[in-house]
Structure 1
Amino acid sequence: MRKQWIGVCVAAGLLAACSSNDDGQQQTVAAPKPAVCNGPVVEISGADPQFESLNPSVNQDYERDGKSYKIVQDPSRFSQTGLAAIYDAEPGSNLTASGETFDPMQLTAAHPTLPVPSYARVTNLANGRMIVVKINDRGPYGNDRIISLSRASADRLNTSNNTKVRVDPIIVAQDGSLSGPGMACTTVAKQTYALPARPDLNSGMGSASSVPPSEPAGDVRPISNDTLQSEDSTGAPVRSGGFLGAPTPLHSGVIESDTPEPVAAPVSTPAAAPQPAAAPVSAPASAPAPVTAPGSVQGGVSAAPVGAAASGSYVVQVGAVSDSARASQWQKKLSQQFGVPGRVTPNGAVYRVQLGPFSSKTQAASLQQRLSSEAQLQSFITNGGAQ
């Protein structure tokens, strides 16, 4: 009999190590253990974790539809696995629990009990994809889903409404350091870039200045051409508001070529002094005939129609989704945000969202860097002619 009582006590102790909310969502309440990484460290991207004060009004225990929800007080002891929902709503249609305007193209998510605002690593257990999302809303309710992902988050993870995911919180300290279950075997990719050495424009060769660049003070910030100065009056001004250093802003959809083909202007000779037909004379090098780059603007008038950009061979592919209407909406939003043309191309059961085309790979790479630094979007460059 005494052995039976000992067995009952052991079983009771094991059950006491875990608890579950009234809605069936299980969370770990055992003493926290240091995160141990037994495999390679993987760099993941997504939302940029920032320290933010918690919103007191949405971080209190509450009841909804007869169920009680207890806010997670120690995210370092929380990890959850279950099905993920996808929250499809019109941009700006409502406000999130954190007071932000809902945007389906942002990497956000809703959770019923994690602190708001906070950050978490979400892993698609079917394909191993991981991203960082910002928890800025409450939900989902009325189903067996544990988290509700924005459309952008779901597309990055390639999830559906029947995909099993794991949610691991990321704790952001006031000094910006990251810890918690979501940092086990992972590091968060930084979305900033250091400013390169300024070119020596006075040398005439465009070589880098021999003066070593000064070290950036404080946090490294994205590159901005507004900080560049030039004493050389030739070439495109570096402080212009145009795309890729154009002298004036280009019309929507017009891309400026960076390698225009030279055009020789033949000079006709007077009839009184005939010259041999086999020796055409080119214009002097000091006064070349004006050459118009495709899509460039001269004298306030576009030298080529908007459709001229379609002659480019490089495009930046941002992603692929299964719904054509959603792909078009995403493409239009990105084209408007970055001031470049775009298109949606079908590929079997999915629709690829592409920006461009561009006439050079340098222009495509410049946009790819902006997508990463300004919108935290991963992309790749491909040949637009190969569909």
Structure 2
Amino acid sequence: MRLPDDLSGGAIALALSAVLAGCGAAGGGEHPAAGAGSPLAAQANGPAADFPLVLGDPFTIDGVEYVPTDTMSYDEVGYLAADGEAGAGVTAAHKTLPLPSYVEVTALETGRTVLVRVERRGPMSNTRLVALSSDALAQLEAGEGAPVRVRRVNPPEMQRADLRAGRAAPLRMDTPETLLGVLRRNLPREGSASLADGRRPPVRPGVQTSDQPAAPSLARVESGAGVPAPAPVEKAAEVYPLVPLERTASVQPAAVAAPAGAFVVQAAAFSSKANADRAAETLGGFVSKAGRFYRVRTGPYTTRGQAEAALAKVRAAGYSDARVSTAG
């Protein structure tokens, strides 16, 4: 029996719709849907989401070339940009770091430090070092043009997962004022400056990066090398309270020695002075030599109560064996 033309056409369309609906219900198609609790959604937010690292080709901004590089020791000071077009999440845009990667951003005006995931290229300005999303700016409590330090880090997976999921990671320990002073001295008037090796990246012709002599690099300050001068030991003591190795305990400068009866927090002891210096920088403490070991300590504190409060922060930073002891 032959159906009328208009009726047969409608039947064919109805049959095709049923077939397509069945394919969709079976999860077919080029982009199958994935619910929030599905294995596909979990995989998108799992550790595999941090790989592979993407670098990309070199590019130029106003005559300055930037070459994306996988640099683990990246550490620079510069100025902040607001990335108003970024979506939700504590994220950042950077010109050369791998995508994705993780950095600590420190506001040099307050010492507040946050963990951020780098996901985009930018900011497209030679006067700005990093651009933060609205959520990242809110956590840092800083705005456009604020001076910052950007340091690449390797955070634990739990904190990576928070950032991948759009949640903020716990705040880092605030940077102490003694270290902030060193960082500000390395801050140029415009653009950015590397703390890893003291080099300054190129800036546009005619741009003045500083009206002062170059400050000592952070690496030299941490090691106590200071700036070459007739009295290098005194110069190093001015910028960072580390006791030079060549001095003995009996001739330590009075500014470094703890007052009698005071308390200190001993975070750890290292056989490598370089490792001790890095730990002291993170904690805002100082290094003292004991035999063949270098002790990392914070303080001194006038009362044991102050020392116990500092001990909690040191342990929260990962030094679970830290303890309070008397200075000396």
TM-score of the superposition, structure 2-length normalised? 0.32
- Of the two, which has the highest radius of gyration? 1
TM-score of the superposition, structure 1-length normalised? 0.27
